[in-house]
Chain A
Amino acid sequence: MCKRSLKMPIIVLIAVSSLLIGQGPARSTDHLDRPYDWTIEVQTQQLARRFDYPGSTLTSIVKAVIRYYPTADEGNRTDYESIWYNDGKALGLERLHGMGITQGEGVSLRIVPKTGHSSQQECKAAADLILRLTLDAYVNRNAMVTVRLADESFDRIIEEMLRNPHITRPTGGAEDPADAALSLFLQSESSDRREQLFYI
């Protein structure tokens, strides 16, 4: 009598457990990998033979083309703006569309060099772009969740950012500014390098 009454509940328990084990891991990986709804992608390119005349100080022109797209739909890119830089300082801007990112949603910034390798001027421009686009996102009521940088330029961009007297690394102690204006989370594309910086 006892064996017959226990057999069915055990079978049901095993069936339900197998369903739960099959479903769980896939869902949790998606959530952890992409905690942002939108991606702002920046492509940098150093331009040659611009303003090439004697006495010119505009000798290191970098063009940054900025687009955004829903992270789940990479093909649906919208042109946002282009910014031109000279020696790391913004020189000109051409906005093509307003920032059509849904307010309140998380954003990731991704900076890639067009040629696959960033020049030093592109790294300087990237340092400014991170601050500038983070500010744009905040004004549009979006949180900048993470900044992704190419592996080959990760260290150089961090170095350029740290030249800004307002930017500092956390020290891991009580000295870390609790009232920093911005907290920036940077990671390399391969995700093996991570850095947190503060703008104070």
Chain B
Amino acid sequence: MRISVQRNRRGSVLVLGCICFGFLALLTLIGCSFANLYFVCNRVQTSADEIALAGAHALNEHDQIGQMNNMIVRCRQLVYTSQQDYDNVVADYPHLQTLARELRDSDRQSATTLEGQRTLLRDLAIARAQVAMENKFNQIKPSYSMVLPWARTDMSALIQFRFGRLAGTESNVGELAGVSELASIDHTRGYIQAAAGSMGLSRYRQGIDAKLPDANSDLSFNVSSLAAPVSATVSPARITQAGAFAVVLPGTQIPSAVQVKVTLNVATGIGPHGSGHIVALGTAATTGGDRQL
């Protein structure tokens, strides 16, 4: 009788040990899954930033936006001075009217050509950035696909990307003060963001159509937002805070920042089935403007 009771006690400890071990293993597994989800969240955010950075980089290749901004402002001064010369000639040298009119009309045509090129560049920059972001997304996407008995993840398509600018960033073009009447007009109409402090430079505001007065008010001189160089240092394409992003309306200025939303689908396969999404927002600004032309 005593011998049979002792045999039953040894057998129950082994079973209990196995059950406990299994339970611990399960807890460890669940813990690892949650930890993995946490790291995946960070990774998705990093991926969103990388995709946004790829798009931002493609917006201002070879400082094309910076060059365009600079030339638009200088074209405006060209047309203004041509008109001044024409007005002076009509009054004082009528025999030179033909020449003055020829030069002024040529300069007006240049302004029209430049505006056409600006819209071409805008559309090209946006298309280029979209391709860069999609390529980056397609490169990253396969690394997120995971199918395990207890968890499954996969990255869906890019849900959204938007084009805009950084709030508070004006244009990269320094004020042209060499023609005093035009400089006065620029200040009166609010085209200039005054320098902050004694060391800064006044710059043309972003998002303006710096119309000329009177005879040439039909011409457009659209200036876009772009970070200016600081002490000959050009700011690189960089990640920024999502809150600093401001949307640029389609068909207006050339964008200098992008924002992307990336979604990762997550599902569990053990016990009650559950699914959800991890969403990350990436924001990046393009390379700043280089020195003047």
Which A residues contact B (CB, under 8 angstroms)? 47, 49-58, 63, 81, 83-84, 86, 89-97, 128, 131-132, 135-136, 138-139, 166, 179, 181-182, 199
Contact = CB atoms under 8 A, between A and B. Distances in A.
Contact of A166 (B71, B99, B114, B176): B99
B74 A135 contact: no
A133 to B, nearest CB: 11
Contacts of A49: 62
B78 A166 contact: no
B78 A89 contact: no
B229 to A, nearest CB: 17
B109 A182 contact: no
A89 B99 contact: no
B81 A93 contact: yes
Interface of B: 61-62, 64, 67-68, 70-71, 73-75, 77-78, 81, 85, 88-89, 92-93, 95-96, 98-100, 102-103, 106-107, 109-110, 113-114, 117, 120-121, 124, 176, 178-179, 293
A131 B103 contact: yes
Contacts of A63: 293
Contact of A86 (B62, B96, B110): B110
Nearest to B75: A92
A93 B78 contact: yes
B133 to A, nearest CB: 19
A56 B103 CA distance: 23
A96 B176 CA distance: 8
A139 B121 contact: no
Given A52-B62, A91-B71, A92-B293, 9 more contacts: A57-B113, A89-B110, A93-B77, A95-B179, A97-B178, A131-B103, A138-B89, A138-B93, A139-B88
Contacts of A96: 178
B77 A139 contact: no
A143 to B, nearest CB: 12
A89 B79 CA distance: 12
Contact of B178 (A53, A81, A166): A81
B77 A51 contact: no
A136 B85 contact: yes
Contact of B120 (A47, A52, A55, A138): A55
Contacts of A86: 110
Given A49-B62, A53-B64, A166-B99, A92 B124 contact: no
Given A138-B93, A166-B98, A199-B99, A57 B117 contact: yes
B78 A91 contact: yes
The list of the 7 closest CB pairs from A to B, nearest first, reads A92-B74, A95-B178, A93-B78, A92-B75, A181-B95, A92-B71, A96-B178
Nearest to B71: A92
Nearest to A58: B117
A90 B124 contact: no
A78 to B, nearest CB: 12
